[in-house]
């Protein structure tokens, strides 16, 4: 992708967008698929096999969770542009490829569903960010009638447009939230197994705490998503469509105007609609983006390698967020891509790639899954 042109300040963008019903963080979200175009780093040319310390768990499996054995794996992504379905971006923020050592942990086999989130809300009376009325002090100059609770929804334009014109395919809609994911009159009835969406970072964190879990680090997420395959482009291997089969919920057709739905879905799909990876995880490529607890920086990997040497143990990411495109916004890492990812735009269904999201915003293609540390300590 071409480097972005200079943009107005985030506060000015908000004041413009709120007048037409925008939301906090919309600019961060609609740009989440882009990455800082830093100079390419030297990286490992060949992925080596994953080394595990404790192949089998010695504790009882938590319901709905998969065991990820502690050990070493290579993290990151080589430039995918020369590969079929590799997309237009060099993925510079996913290098250098580096060795990471992790303790064992458990991870949800699926993204958190509407049914699971509903139980959490019923027991705690939790109100998500999208359901809360924006505070006037947070948006100085905004007309009171425009301070309406809502969220951001993908809206395909009627005609072909430049992929640099991101505003054209996102709308802020009052009344949209996890209960009403595609419009104020939509419903999650009969969609219990769809991944819950319109989840801001603090919403995901609140659910995880209630469930006795936490959100994954970026390293934990990638190790689990790889399913034991070292260096593969996808959780199932290097062929995006082996034997012509669709193995993930992504975009087919001309983005962003026409999704032909050849994979069976034009929006989110129920969790576990596609085959699991080698560790038993579903939808780690496509469907909805998933929050990780790491702050986002495009130079995270390079900084870790400089400070950690050959082996980086249980990395938790940088101490603070920094996105050169929008330095005033705090962003966390998003992983896995979504049903909107296409070889024409984004392509972050590739397992080693990275996304980013403004922490106070949700959208109809952002969800999450949780992890739980193992009680077993490697010897």
Interval 228-254: pLDDT, tens: 999 999 999 999 999 999 999 999 999
pLDDT, residue 19, reads 39
pLDDT tens digits, one per residue of 152-188: 999 999 888 888 887 789 999 999 999 999 999 999 9
- 136 vs 101, more confident: 101
DSSP single-letter state for residue 32: T
- 17 vs 287, more confident: 287
- The predicted model scores a pTM of 0.86
Task: Provide the H-helix boundaries in the chain.
Answer: 10-18, 26-30, 114-124, 201-210, 218-226, 300-308
7: pLDDT confidence band, cut at 50, 70 and 90? very low
127: pLDDT confidence band, cut at 50, 70 and 90? very high
pLDDT, residue 333, reads 98
pLDDT, residue 25, reads 40
On the question of pLDDT at 125 being above 80, the answer is: yes
Fold category of 9-379 in CATH: 3.90.1580
Q: Which of 39-53, 69-83, 189-203 has the lowest mean pLDDT?
A: 39-53
Specify the length of the chain in residues: 379
For the chain, give the mean pLDDT: 87
pLDDT tens digits, one per residue of 305-363: 998 777 999 999 999 999 999 999 999 999 999 999 999 999 999 999 999 999 998 99
DSSP string for 44-111: -SSPPPPEES-SS-SSPPPTTEEEE--EEEEE-----TTSTT--S---GGG-S-EEEEE--EEEESSP
What is the helix (H) or strand (E) element at residue 373, kind and residue range? strand 371-373
Those residues with Cβ within 8 angstroms of residue 174's Cβ, 6 or more apart along the chain or in another chain: 21, 148, 149, 150, 184
How far is it, in rounded angstroms, from Cα 252 to Cα 249?
Answer: 9
pLDDT, residue 141, reads 80
**Cβ contact 263:249 at 8 Å:** yes
**Cβ contact 87:81 at 8 Å:** yes
pLDDT, residue 34, reads 34
pLDDT tens digits, one per residue of 74-118: 999 999 999 999 999 999 999 999 999 999 999 999 999 999 999
On the question of pLDDT at 121 being above 60, the answer is: yes
pLDDT, residue 213, reads 98
On the question of pLDDT at 4 being above 90, the answer is: no
**Cβ contact 93:157 at 8 Å:** no
How far is it, in rounded angstroms, from Cα 104 to Cα 56?
Answer: 10
Name the residue ranges covered by the structural domains of the chain. Answer: 9-379
pLDDT, residue 91, reads 97
pLDDT tens digits, one per residue of 288-306: 999 999 999 999 999 999 9
**Cβ contact 229:235 at 8 Å:** yes
**Cβ contact 322:247 at 8 Å:** no
On the question of pLDDT at 30 being above 80, the answer is: no
């Amino acid at each position: 992708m071409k480097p972005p042109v200079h943009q107005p300040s985030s506060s000015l963008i908000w004041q413009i967008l709120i007048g037409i019903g925008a939301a906090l963080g919309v600019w961060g979200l609609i740009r989440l698929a882009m990455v800082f175009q830093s100079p390419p780093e030297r990286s490992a040319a060949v992925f080596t096999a994953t080394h595990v310390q404790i192949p089998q768990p010695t504790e009882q499996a938590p319901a709905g969770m998969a065991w990820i054995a502690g050990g070493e794996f290579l993290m990151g992504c080589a430039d995918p542009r020369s590969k079929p379905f590799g997309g237009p971006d060099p993925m510079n923020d996913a290098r250098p490829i580096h060795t990471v050592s992790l303790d064992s942990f458990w991870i949800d086999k699926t993204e958190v569903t509407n049914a699971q989130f509903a139980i959490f809300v019923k027991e705690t009376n939790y109100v998500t960010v999208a359901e809360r009325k924006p505070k006037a002090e947070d948006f100085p100059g905004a007309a009171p009638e425009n301070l309406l609770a809502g969220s951001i929804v993908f809206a395909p334009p009627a005609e072909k447009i430049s992929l640099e014109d991101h505003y054209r395919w996102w709308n802020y809609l009052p009344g949209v939230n996890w209960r009403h994911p595609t419009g104020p009159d939509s419903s999650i009835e009969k969609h219990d197994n769809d991944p819950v969406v319109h989840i801001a970072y603090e919403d995901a964190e609140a659910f995880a705490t209630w469930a006795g879990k936490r959100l994954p680090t970026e390293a934990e997420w990638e190790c689990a998503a790889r399913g034991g395959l070292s260096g593969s482009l996808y959780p199932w291997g290097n062929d995006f469509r082996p034997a012509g089969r669709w193995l993930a919920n992504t975009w087919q057709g001309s983005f962003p105007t026409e999704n032909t739905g050849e994979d069976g879905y034009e929006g989110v799909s129920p969790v576990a609609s596609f085959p699991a990876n080698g560790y038993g995880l579903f939808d780690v490529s496509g469907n909805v983006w998933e929050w990780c607890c790491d702050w986002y920086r495009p130079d995270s990997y390079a900084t870790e390698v400089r400070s950690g040497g050959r082996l980086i143990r249980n990395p938790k990411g940088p101490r603070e967020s920094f996105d050169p495109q929008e330095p005033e916004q705090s962003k966390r890492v998003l992983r896995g891509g979504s049903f909107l990812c296409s070889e024409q735009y984004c392509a972050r269904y590739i397992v080693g790639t990275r996304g980013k999201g403004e922490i106070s915003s949700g959208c109809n293609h952002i969800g999450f899954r949780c992890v739980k540390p193992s009680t077993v300590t490697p010897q």
